Each structure stands twice: as C-alpha cells, then as structure tokens.
Amino acid sequence: MLRLPSNIGTGYTWELSEQPDSSLLTLISREYKSGGDEDNGPGYDELLFKAHRKGKLELKLQYVRPWKKDNAGNPDIRRKTYPVIIE
C-alpha cells in the first residue's frame, strides 16, 4: 500500500501517470481517507497494489484534478516516482 497526503476538497487526487508493468504489479484499489472529522479536509489517498512476481519497477504518480484535460502543462501538478522492489 502507498499512502500519500491529499485534500479531496481541492479536487486534486493522486493517480498513476504511467501504468506499471502489469506482469509485476497491478493497482487493486484507490481510496481517499479523511484525516479528521471533515470529509473534504486534508487526508490521504491510499493506493493498494498486488504483486505478481519478483522484479523491480518505478511507480510514477501525479497529483492532478482528473477531469482537467490539460494536466500535462499545469505547473501546480505534483509528481512523485517511487522505486519498487518485489521479492
């Protein structure tokens, strides 16, 4: 599981910017978890993955407003890359 700080009230959410090699890893679910009593306040996006075999890959994610078509040119988008080793 990967847990990233998020704020659903802003419209931004974490999503994969590139699909990982599906023979190694697949995304099972993505869920927003509130960090407190406010449903639209700061919280976390939790991404759950299933490993299929040993190997190495990079997970590439971006923090975007998914309905916007021009995310590639948006300077406010955050991007993260995580190395993953499956043993």
- As a whole number, mean pLDDT of residues 56-80 equals 86
81: which 2 tokens?
A: 């890359």
How confident is the model at residue 41, as a pLDDT? 73
Read off the pLDDT of residues 8-50 as tens digits, 9 standing for 90 and up.
Answer: 888 899 999 999 999 999 999 999 998 877 666 789 999 999 9
Task: Determine the number of helices (DSSP H) and then strands (DSSP E) in the chain.
Answer: 0, 6
74: Cβ contacts below 8 Å, ≥ 6 apart: 64, 68
pLDDT for res 39: 66
Residue 30 structural domain: 2-86
The pair of structure tokens assigned to 10 is: 């802003």
The pLDDT of residue 29: 97
Output the domain CATH number for residue 74.
Answer: 2.60.40.2020
